[in-house]
Structure 1
């Protein structure tokens, strides 16, 4: 059994793929980044990790293998157990397990499994088609330094050429400044008196208006009854996806169908392929969303999956 192939398929759609009695492969979204030294741009991706402590069988891997190989669920579970037994024996003998497009597993000196992820595949479907590229560095700082130098030199030249001419006018400028200061002082006092007068008049008008408001009595003979509206808005970044539809009318029918079954279904917009996405509901925690997802897969929709996305 090519167990790693099935694990790789599921990592595109799920954040956690558990191999019973062995461990779980986990994914975590990482934003796009730029390398400061090489100027390389890296697209967003899913970072892979391995947790040996998660070994409970959630049925996801066995259900997928049973569907692909057209075998009963119990047989698929037995095949996984046999494969896990052989993998553990290889690790005990000191061999390195290489899962294609996933990573390498080895046993350290204290008997714990160490995982080295592979970077050949990007399991983030939103980044499909995006690849790494290198951009030349921008040299705008050089031009900025040149401009700064010119700004320092130009005023120096202007001051030097005008230095001699300005001396002959200094005495006339001093007389003019004194005259303007005296006239400005008188004008300033005039406008200041006008401003004080306007302020006093405004305060008197405000006091009269407040007295009239306090004396007035407002009577409403037939008041309107109070109305209380309870509006609930779904929030959370964990969405259990029921399906995606090319025709929006079909997505509306799916929403109504799920609401009749008791789910808080809704549309969350279109994906990058232009398909209208419908969810059973949105949840604030991963645990709550996983609980609903497991219930849905067991009861009605085995293709339901978990979407982690912050909506506008």
Structure 2
């Protein structure tokens, strides 16, 4: 296993990578320089430096385990085996280390000589060395007697270590706007989806409520009857016209004077004859139902409004009334009398058309 290639990959990302049992490598930036002997201008790049000091780092071992799809223990084993073989070979010869450089022995210690600087990074744009001559340099043929020893040595250069900054991806070019527009459109579509779903749910609920109302309008009667008595409190004219069913349902009819007159016009002897029978046998009693409320306060307010327009109304809560307090009008012996009085009060617009007459079980 040649770990040099894996190390070369990691240096481009991290800048400093440790090798267990050997030391650590760093990648340092080298400024551009001119080699007068070669007549070339070398661009800036990176150069690998090695130190034999121990450095606790498992980045290389983990990277090899991931690349080779092996366990971390196996990766450490193969790495140690490779380093042991490298130390044995470097005693007799120089050992190349991929394209990064090579190892050699220097005074009994392992040393590393870096290869030429690398400029594969995107910040160097893949520049290559440029052959260029100085202005004062002669362009003619060299003299015949000139030997190779007279060639000036290359100008030494110093390595200026600089901190390695993580590379960032290049900025988007002008021919890439459509990609970002599509991503923004997709984000707007995702953010609009919940609102569209909520709107669809509201429309479905509205359609269901409308269909239920068309199917059985009586389900909404109690709500209408409860909402209007407070609004009718300010009305003082008994003959006020209105087309609303809710306003008619909250008006109460005047007391039935006809029934009382009939009872008074009867002879005293007839009244005396019925006293004993009334005590033993309950006679049927018919009344007009003008409305119903959940609370006593609203019921009392409705009775007050009906009485203000001349209708003798009263609150009643008995068998069959359920949870609501009924507003009833009058007391009649027969259903026909109660119905006739109800139609009369409707014609006078004192009670609602939704009112009805019915028998109640209540002793006088």
- Normalising by structure 2, we get a TM-score of 0.37
